[in-house]
Structure 1
Amino acid sequence: MLDFISDTLNQILFASWQHFSLVVQCVILATIIAMVLAVLVYRNKGLVAAANSISAVGLTIPSFALIGLLIGPFGFGVTQAVIVVAFYATLPILRNAVVGLASIKPTVIESARGIGMSRFRTLLQVEIPIAWPVVLAGVRISAQMVMGIAAITAYALGPGLGGFIFSGLSRLGGANSIESVAVGVVGVVILALILDLLLVGLGRLTIPRGIRV
């Protein structure tokens, strides 16, 4: 194992950076998309139910199946990896964003409007900060989930550590096959832990102390 790591260290580091970068960028994109959708629907109970249903149903779609469907129109490589990872990343964040915004007490909003705040300012300075802990919890769940899904996109030649996993699995019994799989799996776990720690730190910086759990 140590010899394998030593011989492929540069490849491991590069693949780790690709994997981490793919997940972080897709989670950021997913957070923006989810927040925009949540803001559009959270005041309407029917739309809230629809958003929650879409989130639940979307998570039942097998990632392998979605990757296979996207190979046709988008081919192999980064594009379909970004689409797949961003799609799955959006779903938990959307659910939490809708729940967080919809659960704010009307009296809080009325108080903000009563002191002369516009609807947009109330949303930006009152509602989103109050809902942010719930949203961030969704972001953390999403980040952990798509860290593994990002590895699966290597099936369609997506970037990241998944290449080590599929390379090892394709030649099980051959030289360094188990080592290759182990490096990919352990690497994904380590990256997931690092990203979660960074998100915990983000929460400490962005969640007001008064509503911090």
Structure 2
Amino acid sequence: MREFFQDMGVFVGDRWEDILYRSYQHTSLVVQCLVLATIIAIAVALLVTRVPRLQPAANMISAVGLTIPSFALIGMMLGLVGIGVIPSVIAVTFYATLPILRNAVVGLMGVDKGLMESAQGMGMSSAGRFLRVQLPLAWPVIMTGIRVSAQMSMGVAAIAAFALGPGLGQYIYTGLAQIGGANAVNYALVGTIGIVILALLLDAILLLVRRLTTSKGIRA
């Protein structure tokens, strides 16, 4: 065991710059896709609040979408857009949108209609009611969806390395491809542990963002 940790230390010491760079790539991919997914999810959820009969369809898409194997989706993207960053962005954004969409629909639909009517009576425009009343009240629920989505997206981004996407997933695939080799376990462990650490750090940051962006009157 002592030799294993020594070997791991040497492995990380020789590649720490590459590990940091791939960690940055991995986090950057997930964060950018989360931002894009949040915008898409809130826009669709807003449409659902305006047309309530669309809610079952939105919920069905959220549920069914999560059953699609990520390998299958990435394989399909390879045939459509080739290898590289683009299929990775599409796959991560797709899966990231689903939990956020479900929570955004629940959050926006759960805002008291009396408050919305009062805001309208005060002369607020439709956009004003959404930005100043509906979205702030639904935000804690939406942020919960974003946090769930972030954890899931970290794993999907690793699988996206199959399409030669950026991030620590390449270390995992290198380890699997070199099974029996001298550094196979080191590659796989560094990639896996690195992704877990990044996921925990991102969740802590999102928890702080949730606290800072949620009105004191509705904090749980």
Task: Tell me the TM-score range normalised by the shorter chain.
Answer: over 0.9
Aligned amino acid, residue 87 of structure 2: Q
Q: Which residue of 2 aligns with 1:172?
A: 179
Looking at structure 2, the residues matched to 204 and 92 of structure 1 have their Cα atoms a distance apart, in angstroms, of 20
Instruction: State whether residues 55 and 94 of structure 1, in contact with CA within 8 Å, keep that contact through their aligned partners in structure 2.
Output: yes
Unaligned runs of 5+ in 2: 1-7
Match of 2:56 among 49, 57, 61: 49
RMSD over equivalenced CA pairs, Å: 0.8
Q: Which residue of 1 aligns with 2:192?
A: 185
Instruction: State whether residues 43 and 102 of structure 1, in contact with CA within 8 Å, keep that contact through their aligned partners in structure 2.
Output: no
Aligned amino acid, residue 73 of structure 1: L
Looking at structure 2, the residues matched to 133 and 189 of structure 1 have their Cα atoms a distance apart, in angstroms, of 24
Looking at structure 2, the residues matched to 73 and 109 of structure 1 have their Cα atoms a distance apart, in angstroms, of 44
Q: Which residue of 2 aligns with 1:158?
A: 165
TM value normalised by structure 1: 0.98
CA drift of 1:156 comes to: 1.1
SS in structure 2 opposite 1:136?
helix
Match of 2:71 among 23, 47, 64: 64
- The more displaced of 188-197 and 116-125 is 116-125
Match of 2:102 among 95, 105, 109: 95
Percent identity of paired positions between Structure 1 and Structure 2: 57
Looking at structure 2, the residues matched to 121 and 43 of structure 1 have their Cα atoms a distance apart, in angstroms, of 15
What is the CA deviation profile of residues 13-62 of structure 1, one whole-angstrom value per residue up to 9, with x for unaligned ones? 11100000000000000001111111111233320111010010000000
Instruction: State whether residues 161 and 184 of structure 1, in contact with CA within 8 Å, keep that contact through their aligned partners in structure 2.
Output: yes
Q: Which residue of 1 aligns with 2:201?
A: 194
Runs of 4+ residues over 6 Å off in structure 1:
none
TM value normalised by structure 2: 0.95
Looking at structure 2, the residues matched to 76 and 119 of structure 1 have their Cα atoms a distance apart, in angstroms, of 43
Instruction: State whether residues 81 and 158 of structure 1, in contact with CA within 8 Å, keep that contact through their aligned partners in structure 2.
Output: yes
